[in-house]
Chain A
């Protein structure tokens, strides 16, 4: 397997654009991914995540912009890129009418695994996916979580240094999701760069760095911690009361907060940074006769960050829509 250089960035893109007709799916995205990093690409459906990944894998031609994967240019050297990456598409892309091991054998052939390591890699993949005693089952009979791990196995048989995973955990049960991320950590530990897209906010916490993407543009870029502090334009307060819905109503009516939402059995109130609400909120509630049981500022979740950023953007673009 060729690699242009062991140093340098795993992925570099600059002002990447993809237009489908008049619709701009990816709108001037730039970012750099370090080797061995777990890089997350987070955003709602239709934000441009899959489109970006496809361009990075060399299977979709960008409209404009530059990019390099593993040091190879995404326009001119896409075939070299394909030799060095693993890709797991959103649909898992397994052959349903092939058996588990037939799928593995197929991809071993495609990646030209040598006879010596073919066997051991296959066993490793079966072990990793937990399918050792189901190697002869038809792939169509597997449930979601198993298919997911099998698809991952097929994608990394050739031990690529860069792995692109497009929504690898969509439609998979939480336990399997957790197991999956354990696998990703294992690989990252061995130096594999993992570029993963997801719309599960909780998974984003697992990444080394994140890019938040909305409507084709990057809204925020950094580590999860950075996103929660530096990027978060607002503060989040958590409030517990006995009359949650009434409190919700009252706080909303005051129109002093950008967002009030139920979170489990508490409320999350999003307000401007620096504002001290420790007395303000109770004063509103007092008007309803509701005593607050607990009120404190908390670290925002990534979901909070994201929603805030998006809403800020929408407000900005409000006139342009």
Chain B
């Protein structure tokens, strides 16, 4: 390994990146953009569900029930339905996600000490939202009916009673339940993975297509010098983006970093190294920019976004898919990020993930070094 040759390659790559300001701009703006989107706009939290109320009872009791629903932050009144087909239409059009039907004998049943039934009709298209909305509806209804029971018991002479059991809930690690506190750390993994793929996918295949690679392989340059030289600028950009993301997380979103920042950066650089080398391998194998870009994108965003536990909990996936996630490096990086950010834990708990990331990085680097042949065939 001769430093001079390494420097020559790295410097050339830097010049080329600099000469193409758009790539640089995109490399920086994509993370910013993603952070802004995820930090401000995107959430899976379910609230303000547009609801239609179809009250056939129209008594103070039924209005009280409806009130309990609408007072919570989860449901938002869209309209009062004059008839059933209006409700149906709202659901069909997607203007409401839930319809609450209070039958005409609702308060009468309650008076007569019978179990009363209400109907909740959901738009099941978005199963996630529907399930959660139903959960909230059930909780509200149960609490309300318990309240009614207590009132009844009071009237029957039992006196004022509190509910027998109440849950006292304490939230650890993220007391205000800010979704950005869990989105932003995980997002960093997605950003790094996508960035690495976009930056590197064309680097080797592009030179083949332009003919400069043929020239290069006729020189004394060695594999490690070529690959490392190409890595360095992309790695620098990646670290820059990492710092930018962490800074934005802290100063713009106020996401607290409870753990060790140095640990975060070192483990992140392992992931970055692996992701960059992965992109280089794809570039080497395909020798074609169109293909390498497609393959790289799929291999980076898909696992990191879908299978890493970033948005979708791994525990909810079918067993087979869970097995697959074991070989997704993003999984370990996301765990590390969430752990360091929210829980403030360190290597004593995260050592397995750290080790696996190290293996990922070295395996990819090794593969890139080995797969590259200074020959045309």
What residues of chain A have their CB less than 8 Å away from a CB belonging to chain B?
A: 54, 57-61, 78-79, 82-83, 85, 87, 89-98, 102, 105-112, 164
Query: Which chain A residues border B219 with CB–CB below 8 Å?
Result: 82, 87, 107, 110-111
Given contacts A54-B214, A111-B219, 10 further A-B contacts (CB under 8 A): A59-B218, A87-B215, A89-B211, A98-B12, A107-B8, A107-B219, A109-B4, A110-B8, A112-B220, A164-B218
CB atoms of B212 and A60 under 8 A apart = no
CB distance from B80 to the nearest CB of A (A): 65
Contact of B15 with A by CB under 8 A: yes
CB atoms of A93 and B4 under 8 A apart = no
Query: Once the chains are docked, how many angstroms separate the CA of A90 from the CA of B376?
Result: 14
CB atoms of B4 and A95 under 8 A apart = no
Given contacts A54-B376, A60-B376, A61-B375, contact A93 B214 (CB under 8 A): yes
Which 9 residue pairs across A and B have the least CB separation, nearest first? A109-B8, A91-B211, A93-B215, A87-B218, A83-B220, A57-B218, A60-B376, A97-B19, A93-B211
CB atoms of A112 and B4 under 8 A apart = yes
The 8 A CB mask of B11-40 against A (1 = contact, 0 = none) is 110011001100000000000000000000
Contact of B5 with A by CB under 8 A: yes
Query: Which chain B residues border A87 with CB–CB below 8 Å?
Result: 215, 218-219
Instruction: Name B217's closest neighbour in chain A (CB-CB).
Output: A59
> B218 contacts which of A89, A95, A105, A112 (Cβ < 8 Å)?
A89
Query: Which chain B residues border A94 with CB–CB below 8 Å?
Result: 212
CB atoms of B11 and A109 under 8 A apart = yes
CB atoms of A109 and B7 under 8 A apart = yes
> B5 contacts which of A58, A61, A96, A112 (Cβ < 8 Å)?
A112
Query: Which chain A residues border B218 with CB–CB below 8 Å?
Result: 57-59, 82, 85, 87, 89, 164
Number of chain B residues whose Cβ lies closer than 8 Å to a Cβ of chain A: 27
Contact of B377 with A by CB under 8 A: yes
CB atoms of A95 and B214 under 8 A apart = no
Query: Which chain B residues border A96 with CB–CB below 8 Å?
Result: 210
CB distance from B197 to the nearest CB of A (A): 22
Given contacts A91-B211, A93-B212, contact A111 B220 (CB under 8 A): yes
Query: Which chain A residues border B15 with CB–CB below 8 Å?
Result: 97-98, 102
Query: Which chain B residues border A110 with CB–CB below 8 Å?
Result: 5, 8-9, 216, 219-221
CB distance from B7 to the nearest CB of A (A): 6
> B375 contacts which of A59, A89, A97 (Cβ < 8 Å)?
A59
Contact of B2 with A by CB under 8 A: yes
Contact of B374 with A by CB under 8 A: yes
Query: Once the chains are docked, how many angstroms separate the CA of A319 from the CA of B375?
Result: 37
Query: Once the chains are docked, how many angstroms separate the CA of A105 from the CA of B15?
Result: 12
Query: Which chain B residues border A60 with CB–CB below 8 Å?
Result: 375-377
Query: Which chain A residues border B374 with CB–CB below 8 Å?
Result: 58-59, 78-79
Query: Which chain B residues border A91 with CB–CB below 8 Å?
Result: 210-211, 214
Instruction: Name B216's closest neighbour in chain A (CB-CB).
Output: A110
CB distance from A89 to the nearest CB of B (A): 5
Instruction: Name A96's closest neighbour in chain B (CB-CB).
Output: B210
Query: Which chain B residues border A78 with CB–CB below 8 Å?
Result: 374
Query: Which chain B residues border A89 with CB–CB below 8 Å?
Result: 211, 214-215, 218
Instruction: Name B20's closest neighbour in chain A (CB-CB).
Output: A97
Interface centre among B5, B217, B221, B374 (most CB of A within 10 A): B217
Query: Which chain A residues border B20 with CB–CB below 8 Å?
Result: 97
Query: Once the chains are docked, how many angstroms separate the CA of A107 from the CA of B219?
Result: 9
Query: Which chain A residues border B212 with CB–CB below 8 Å?
Result: 93-95
Query: Which chain B residues border A164 with CB–CB below 8 Å?
Result: 218
Query: Which chain A residues border B5 with CB–CB below 8 Å?
Result: 109-110, 112
Query: Which chain A residues border B19 with CB–CB below 8 Å?
Result: 97-98
Between-chain CB contacts (< 8 Å), 12 pairs: A59-B218, A87-B215, A87-B219, A89-B214, A89-B215, A91-B210, A95-B212, A98-B15, A108-B8, A109-B5, A109-B11, A112-B220
Q: Which of B89-126 contact A (CB under 8 A)?
A: none
CB distance from A1 to the nearest CB of B (A): 10
CB atoms of A95 and B221 under 8 A apart = no
CB distance from A184 to the nearest CB of B (A): 18
Instruction: Name A86's closest neighbour in chain B (CB-CB).
Output: B218
Query: Which chain A residues border B2 with CB–CB below 8 Å?
Result: 112
Query: Which chain A residues border B211 with CB–CB below 8 Å?
Result: 89-93
Query: Which chain A residues border B210 with CB–CB below 8 Å?
Result: 91, 93, 96
Query: Which chain B residues border A108 with CB–CB below 8 Å?
Result: 8
The 8 A CB mask of B208-244 against A (1 = contact, 0 = none) is 0011101111111100000000000000000000000
CB distance from B111 to the nearest CB of A (A): 83
Instruction: Name A90's closest neighbour in chain B (CB-CB).
Output: B211
CB distance from B202 to the nearest CB of A (A): 13
CB distance from A319 to the nearest CB of B (A): 33
CB distance from A87 to the nearest CB of B (A): 4
Query: Once the chains are docked, how many angstroms separate the CA of A111 from the CA of B221?
Result: 8
Instruction: Name B221's closest neighbour in chain A (CB-CB).
Output: A110
Query: Once the chains are docked, how many angstroms separate the CA of A102 from the CA of B13?
Result: 11
CB distance from B2 to the nearest CB of A (A): 6
Query: Which chain B residues border A54 with CB–CB below 8 Å?
Result: 214, 376
